Every structure is written in structure tokens, then in C-alpha cells.
Amino acid sequence: MSRERDDHFAFELQDNPKSKTGKSPKMTAPSSIIRIPDREELRLQLKHYSRPFIKHQLPDNQFARKTYVEKVRPALRYYCQKFGINVPDWLKDERYFENLPDKEKLDMFGTLELKIAEFKPLPKFVGGQAQGG
């Protein structure tokens, strides 16, 4: 089985006590969140995650719900783009989760601040210059 190289990543800062600033960059590929090798698997995953209640899609805990919103949903959007499938309405953005009352956010995610990790292409370097990205 051949493996396609990842060319899109989500960039975030993570805590690192050994760094001078206390932070270090982290790159995450969509394939490290969810592996979707083809259009058929994407259709199956979209069907699974399209169920209306978050508790029917994943384990009932704050970590799973937060990971779903911050990483899985952006990865699904990336794969829709990659395989040329329209992003379903329920997946287009995170307004629903971002607009929840603070008490509900704390109950669901354990935090008030969601850090959505959209996947962007790596800039290509041509002759020492970054192109695109």
C-alpha cells in the first residue's frame, strides 16, 4: 500500500517548558487525525458524523468533543476539498459551537476557547523563495 505525502498541516503553539518562550510550534497533518484514503471512505465518515447529536457520534467526554470540533471537523473539510466533494452544511463552520453559552461550552468542552485547526498547504520553495501557501 502506497502512502501519499501530506502537504497540508494545521499549525498551533503548544506548551513547552524547555523553550525560551514556553511555547513551541506543532504541525498536525489531517491523516494523523483521521485517515481517509478515498471518496467512498469520506462518504462513510460524513454519514457517521452527520448525526445531529454529538453524543451519538463519539465518546461522551470533554476531550472527545473538543477534539471533534477542533481537529476532526477541519480534517473532514480538508478531505472534502481534496476529493472534490461539497462540504455539507452541518460541517461548513463552527458557529454553532462558538456561539454556545459559556456554561454549555464549559460543560461540553471544559474550556471557553476553542482552537480550530484548519489545514493549510505548506508553502512551496522555489529558488529560495516561498511561493503560495
Orientation of helix 39-49 relative to helix 73-83, angle to 10°? 150
Q: How open is the CA angle 49-103-90, to the nearest 5 degrees? A: 25
Phi, psi of 103 (to 5 degrees): -60, -45
Neighbouring C-beta atoms of residue 94, cutoff 10 Å: 15
CB 81 within 8 A of CB 120: no
pLDDT value at residue 2: 41
CB 119 within 8 A of CB 9: yes
| pLDDT average per 10 residues of sequence, the chain (133 residues) | 64 83 86 94 94 76 92 96 95 92 94 89 64 56
pLDDT value at residue 133: 53
- pTM of the full structure: 0.80
pLDDT value at residue 23: 86
pLDDT value at residue 1: 39
Phi, psi of 71 (to 5 degrees): -125, -45
